[in-house]
Amino acid sequence: MAQTVETHTGETLERPLGLRGVAADFSSDQRAFKNVSWGKAMMWIFLLSDTFIFGCFLVAYMTARMSTTVAWPNPSEVFALTIGGQEIPLILIAIMTFVLISSSGTMAMAVNFGYRRDRRTTAILMLLTAVLGATFVGMQAFEWSKLIAEGVRPWENPWGAAQFGSTFFMITGFHGTHVTIGVIFLLIVARKVWRGDFDTERRGFFTSRKGNYEVVEIMGLYWHFVDLVWVFIFAFFYLW
Amino acid sequence: MTQVATHAQMPAKEQHQQHPIRLYLVVWGFLFILSACSYFVDYAGLHGYLRWSLILLFMVLKAGLIIAIFMHMAWERLALVYAVLLPPVLVLVFVALMMSEANYTALSRMTFFGASP
């Protein structure tokens, strides 16, 4: 039963304003992010590394699209759906965007209710977020199978530059994987919230540490990040 | 007894992000409007610099709202904000490098393979 003793110097010391404060935090002993828990700081650092991964994917896509001499397929037409005999451009992607934004909204509310210690509402909102996330993945599966049926492969497609297929499968596939992992993560945390783990300070199965409602916020950071990445994919891959 | 004591100290040592529900609903609404706007850019079939600048504008606004409000970056300590938000700016340097590289590749392809973009 080793207990770690944390020292909290953040509140006792006066912090200079602005950049001087940042320099003071970074040059202080032991702990740079004074009032930020290790869990949240680590999630942010993980998200930062993930930013670079998606950044590299999007830069690779930009390079491929700029350097090819073959015309790039028009995403507006490729992702159009015929609904009621009318061809609507990019409609599926638009619906997916709205679904993901809605899930971000419910997640933000879940974090809020978590800190109010309203565990029922928190768990329900998290489950709703998970359902919306799963809907997003389902629509992506539909989109993938539709494109595969139309003959899109990582090495060729019927409309133009061959790199279209490889970048599409790579970027949306990686994003979809993130959403799937997020849904699983959501279900696990929602179960903990529902059971009241954070009220009774039950120790975690894996880490043997007591959790608190900040876990919901950290989960939320991951989920909002997934939505954030989609904002960039939507802008650069589907709309550009 | 110690349990109670640690509980009472909790809000003091680790800042909790507690904001009114209304704020989240307003941001949610703005995200919907911005998404609808960026979809409209495609639906209306805008082209050229107008299209690209509008796409970038709506993208940056959406990303900013998500990071600042939903991810609570607006209320975090400045050291964390700088540690997280400054490094991705370097990706822009990478973008600039790869743009010149891609232009060179395209130019070589056009010169030596006689294809036109």
Answer yes or no: do B64 and B113 share one domain.
no
pLDDT value, residue B88 = 92
Q: Regarding predicted confidence, which is higher, A235 or A25?
A: A235
B87 touches chain A (CB under 8 A): yes
* Interatomic CA distance for residues B5 and B21, integer angstroms: 29
Instruction: List pLDDT tens digits, range B43-70.
Output: 888 888 999 999 999 999 999 999 999 9
Measured CA to CA in angstroms, residue A54 lies from A42, A58, A176, B63 at distances of 18, 6, 12, 14
Burial class of residue B78 (count of CB atoms within 10 Å of its CB; 0-12, 13-18, 19+): middle
pLDDT at position A12 is 52
Based on the domain organization, do B64 and B102 belong to the same domain?
A: no
Q: What angle do CA B1, B3, B8 make, to 5 degrees?
A: 100
- Determine the distance in angstroms separating the CA of B1 from the nearest CA of chain A, rounded to an integer: 15
Assign B6 a pLDDT band (cuts: 50, 70, 90): very low
Is A66 within 8 Å of chain B by CB? Answer: yes
Instruction: Report A:151-180 residues touching B (Cβ under 8 A).
Output: none
Q: Which chain A residues have a beta carbon less than 8 Å from that of B16?
A: 115, 214
- Structural domain total, chain B: 2
- Asked whether the beta carbons of residue B28 and residue A235 sit closer than 8 angstroms, the reply is no
Residue among B15, B77, B85, B99 with most chain A CBs within 10 A, to mutate: B77
Determine the Cα angle at A228 with ends B42 and B38, to 5°: 15
Strand partners, A153: A156
Q: Is residue B116 part of a domain?
A: yes
Chain A residue with CA closest to B105: the answer is A67
Does residue B72 sit in the same domain as residue B90? no
Range of the domain at B107: 86-117
ipTM higher than the 0.95 cut = no
Residues B46 and B72 in one domain: yes
Looking at the domain assignment, is residue B54 inside a domain? yes
> What does the angle CA A59 – CA B66 – CA A209 come to, to the nearest 5 degrees?
100
Give pLDDT tens digits for A192-202.
999 888 888 78
Least confident of A194-198, A233-237, B106-110: A194-198
Average pLDDT over residues B11-17: 54
Give residue-wise pLDDT tens across range A136-150.
999 999 999 999 999
**What residues of chain B, 47 to 76, have a C-beta less than 8 Å from chain A?**
51-52, 55-56, 58-59, 62-63, 66-67, 69-72, 76
Residue B47 domain flag: yes
Q: Is residue B8 part of a domain?
A: no
B28/B70 same-domain check: yes
Task: Render pLDDT for A36-89 as a digit per residue (tens, 0 to 9).
Answer: 888 899 999 999 999 999 999 999 999 999 999 888 998 888 888 888 778 788
Q: Calculate helix-pair angle for B48-65, B21-43, nearest 10 degrees.
A: 160
Within a domain: B102: yes
For residues B59 and B95, state if they share a domain. Answer: no
Contacts across the A-B interface (CB distance below 8 Å): 172
**In order of start, what are the domains of chain A with their CATH numbers?**
38-239 (1.20.120.80)
B66 and B99 share one domain: no
pLDDT at B15: 58
Nearest to A213 by CA among A191, A194, A197, A198: A198
Same domain, B70 and B95: no
